[in-house]
Amino acid sequence: MTTARPEQPDALNTLRAGLPDHYLTPDDIAEIFDVPKETVYQWRKKRTGPPGFRIGKHLRYDPADVRAYVAGRRKADAAA
């Protein structure tokens, strides 16, 4: 007998739906912005993308920080 597992929402839907019960990974960020994961790491190195933080050796992103980053970029583009 197989038990059905609840379907996991993808990263973009999680970001849109509100704060998830977990922080986002570099893979999630790459999926949300439709960029290669290496781009996410370059953003972090250059401090140009959404702010991330480390938990041990793992890089994580707070969805609220990602939303704020997007809002800031949209505001900057609208002012240009």
Q: What is the pLDDT of residues 19-52, one digit of tens each?
A: 566 899 999 999 999 999 999 999 999 999 999 9
- Alpha helices (runs of H) in 1-80, residue ranges in sequence order: 11-17, 26-33, 37-46, 63-79
What residue ranges do the domains of the chain occupy? 20-79
First-to-final CA distance of the chain: 59
CATH of 20-79, one of 1.10.3470, 1.10.1760, 1.10.287, 1.10.1660: 1.10.1660
- Reading the block at residue 59, the tokens are 């890089």
Residue 18 pLDDT exceeds 80: no
Task: Quickly count: other Cβ atoms within 10 Å of residue 63's Cβ.
Answer: 21
Q: Provide the whole-model pTM.
A: 0.72
